[in-house]
A and B are shown apart, each in its own frame.
Chain A
Amino acid sequence: MAKIIRKETLAPQIKLMVVDAPWVARKAKAGQFVVLRITEEGERIPLTIADFDPKAGTVIIIFQEVGKSTMLLGTLEEGDEILDFVGPLGREIEEKNFGHVVCVGGGVGIAPTYPKAKALKEKGNRITSIIGARTKTMLFWEEKMREVSDELFVTTDDGTYGEKGFVTQVLERILKNEKVDLVIAVGPVIMMKMVSVITKPHDVPTLVSLNPIMVDGTGMCGCCRVTVGGKCKFTCVDGPVFDGHKVNFDELLARQRIYLEEEQRALELWTVEKAKEEASRVV
């Protein structure tokens, strides 16, 4: 059990929770994730750690409400407890001075970008960050990202804030004009794929943080397998961070769609049930 100490709505459907989990906070490193479960009937949900405080014993998770499980998580309030909270899982990123690092965060992927930028900033890297969202209201943590970056660029798809367009446009511009030693990208698979495509001709090492479907998160089920450099890897124990130039993104995109029908069905049922519940409360 892990208590939710604070809850914040960052953007429509994007929520932040500060969770009391000293056993995770004490060991957490940038790049790692947790697996949580909300109810006895619930799924095991993997979420990248957005920030952690070993002294306070707290871990921050940020998630977008897209399906039944994340919506259910979103209904929990301060003081409520998360049934299982397991971690930290996965491998941490290598924390050293690479030189000039560009951190790219897209959508809810801004959250897991933050601890990586922060850790690498502490190691003396020059950090250029690019964060992007669909629209202004979906953007969050701009200030936090600015604190750990030497330079920060913001884009929105619809131009309601920052530069109109995608994070990849800014990245391309930087690559043309400056020497970059490492690019780290976290966001939708298609964004990470495009980032990797762009950095390839510039020969800039590129790390991406993958988010395939998982069950146990400890290397037991093999559900999260991904092809990297022609070899089969388990994202949960070999990753979640991999060399973007070697990842088979198309396979990953297909694998993320395995349960679309079931996810839809679960969400519809849940929405109907919730509506019924609310109706009965009104009566």
Chain B
Amino acid sequence: MPQRPPEERIRDFYEVPLGLSEWAAVEEAKRCLKCKTPQCVKGCPVEIDIPGFIELLAQGNFDEAIVKIKEKNNLPAICGRVCPQEDQCEVQCVLGKKGQPIAIGYLERFLADYEREKGVRSPSLPHSRNRKVAVIGSGPAGLTCAGDLAKMGYRVTIFEALHAPGGVLIYGIPEFRLPKAIVAQEVHYVQSLGVEIQLSRVIGKTYTLDDLRDAGYEAFFIGTGAGLPYFLEIPGENLNGVYSANEFLTRSNLMKAYLFPKFDTPVKIGRRVAVIGGGNVAMDSARTALRLGAEEVCLVYRRTKKEMPARVEEVERAEEEGVNCIILTNPVRFVGNENGWVTGIECIQMELGEPDESGRRRPVPVPGSEFVIPIDTVVVAIGQGPNPLFLESVPGLNLNRKGYIVADPETGATNLRGVFAGGDIVTGAATVISAMGAGKKAARAIERFLEAPDSFPQWR
């Protein structure tokens, strides 16, 4: 897919990949082998009829092709941009065995963008079943679960703690990777299915689950995500200029700090910025720092590039834009000045030892190899955990050792009757599409539960 040149794109927050032309999309779709037993669908957590939509696209029938996608996926413009297709549908494609797999993600994006430019059609809605379901959190899991339940005819309300819907799509993923206007449009589509969204309502504080039960909600889906930022817990971490990736990205994305002072929320960016971590959030933070005006941005990662959890495409883009990867390096302490501002990171060199429980080779410090990287701003992007705020308000809910909700992977059912959960709050930080898959499964299970509660199996 054509994309904007690095020297141009690092000066603004506009989208980087430009999308396929009609001609290119049709030509790409024509490469599909129409396998008798298509493998690609197996790799799609939301079960899109991939060969079906590709065939319609190859025939030039874009209108029906997007309808085919939307039978299963309410958020195609988002998925077409942020799904790791290379690890999901595309990795299964038979064409990929000998050459390039079909660019399924690009085609999905093409169709979603085509529809958006033409004006999104509102689907015809089923008869209302007049039963209320509450969805906690408006991220990808919640939006998918709510959209599917609405399509089944239920009355669904999403409760969102922030002032804008979308969860991580709106506060976490930068504009240049996922334009917020696109998120807004797909959220609007979910609302057009009949889903009500109540913003600025913190479940666990403003209302408890019992309050919602009293208000007539009969089933609950918890999709609160993994929003609690982890820190390294090393000396100097609370120095001024040390951000969690969540704060850095929330200021920039949700609060539009890159438009300060037009928007009131600022973000501080130094000349030299270090991002700690090697995942997609680290890449997003590094690329955001560049666009905010940093002169040098480095990524400090304790293993090698091979072990980085970020999508290869994202690492490549970050490097093209000038992000410098400092691998096999781990921070041990932040150094500050007398005014409480960070001035450097003391790091230690690492080498790879035996594989650990993640299957990757464990990084081991090299004794005596400490050195200091001079720095003005640090973004800690080493992962997120479950936010306890809501969980504490639900006594009796089964949590695992790390604080995530224990839920049936097939249905999302928790140990509490009528309470379902899915997405990052169950699995830990994962992908948008896997959260959507969990939302979809839970929607089906909630229907089974509501229609035949006695025969719905109790989970643990």
Contact = CB atoms under 8 A, between A and B. Distances in A.
A220 B255 contact: no
Interface in B241-258: 241, 243-244, 246-247, 250-251, 255-256
A221 B246 contact: yes
Given A24-B206, A41-B256, A215 B261 contact: no
A85 to B, nearest CB: 7
A42 interface: yes
A44 B241 CA distance: 20
Interface in B221-256: 227-229, 231, 233, 237-238, 240-241, 243-244, 246-247, 250-251, 255-256
B268 A259 contact: yes
A227 B388 CA distance: 19
Contacts of A69: 264
Chain B interface bracket (under 10, 10 to 19, 20 to 34, 35 or more): 35 or more
A189 to B, nearest CB: 13
Given A215-B251, A232-B238, A269-B261, A220 B229 contact: yes
Interface SS, A side: mixed
A182 interface: no
Interface stretch (B17-25, B196-204, B404-412): B196-204
B163 interface: yes
A23 B339 contact: no
B262 interface: yes
A86 B206 contact: yes
Contacts of A85: 200
Nearest to A88: B205
Contacts of B259: 41
A266 B261 contact: yes
B264 A43 contact: yes
B207 A220 contact: no
Nearest to A2: B200
Contact of A259 (B163, B202, B266, B388): B266
B338 to A, nearest CB: 10
Given A24-B206, A43-B264, A255-B340, A86 B247 contact: no
A16 interface: no
A193 interface: no
B244 A222 contact: yes
Nearest to A67: B264
Nearest to B168: A220
B266 to A, nearest CB: 4
A42 B255 CA distance: 8
Contacts of A89: 202, 205
18 contacts: A23-B206, A69-B264, A87-B202, A88-B206, A216-B171, A216-B250, A218-B161, A219-B389, A220-B171, A220-B228, A222-B246, A223-B247, A226-B238, A237-B388, A251-B238, A254-B340, A255-B238, A265-B261
Interface of A: 23-24, 27, 37, 41-44, 68-69, 83-89, 215-216, 218-223, 225-227, 232, 237, 250-251, 254-255, 257-259, 262-263, 265-266, 269
Closest 9 CB pairs of A and B: A254-B340, A262-B266, A221-B247, A222-B244, A220-B227, A43-B264, A222-B229, A84-B163, A86-B200
